[in-house]
Amino acid sequence: MDSHRKLVTFTADENFRKGACHGAAWFLRTTRMLISEGRDAQEILNHLEELADIMTEWRNGAGELPDGNPWDWSYKDLASAVKARKGE
């Protein structure tokens, strides 16, 4: 049991939990915004899938993405990242 307690005190684990919380809050804010815009479920799902793919690329350091954390990007930077992923 003691070894489990030590795991959550590692700095890397703390940083992961902070990042996961920021990412989850980003998804929630985005979902609420899309709902308020009157988007249907499929549009929201497609948008959230794009965000998940961008977060995966960001985590893996793949592709050209704006500096900083995805949830801190401006809407313009996020739109550019989505557009670049689609090859537009």
What are the tens digits of pLDDT across the range 19-40?
Answer: 788 888 889 999 999 999 999 9
Read off the pLDDT of each residue in 40-64 and give the average, rounded to a whole number: 88
Question: In sequence order, what DSSP letters do the residues of 27-78 get, joined into one string?
Answer: HHHHHHHHHHTT--HHHHHHHHHHHHHHHHHHHHT-S---SS-GGGS-HHHH
Residue 35 to residue 29: CA distance in whole angstroms: 10
Nearest CA to 58 among 88, 31, 36, 78? 78
Count of residues in the chain: 88
Range of the structural domain that residue 34 is part of:
2-86
Instruction: Provide the domain count of the chain.
Output: 1
This prediction's pTM: 0.70
pLDDT top residue among 55 and 45? 45
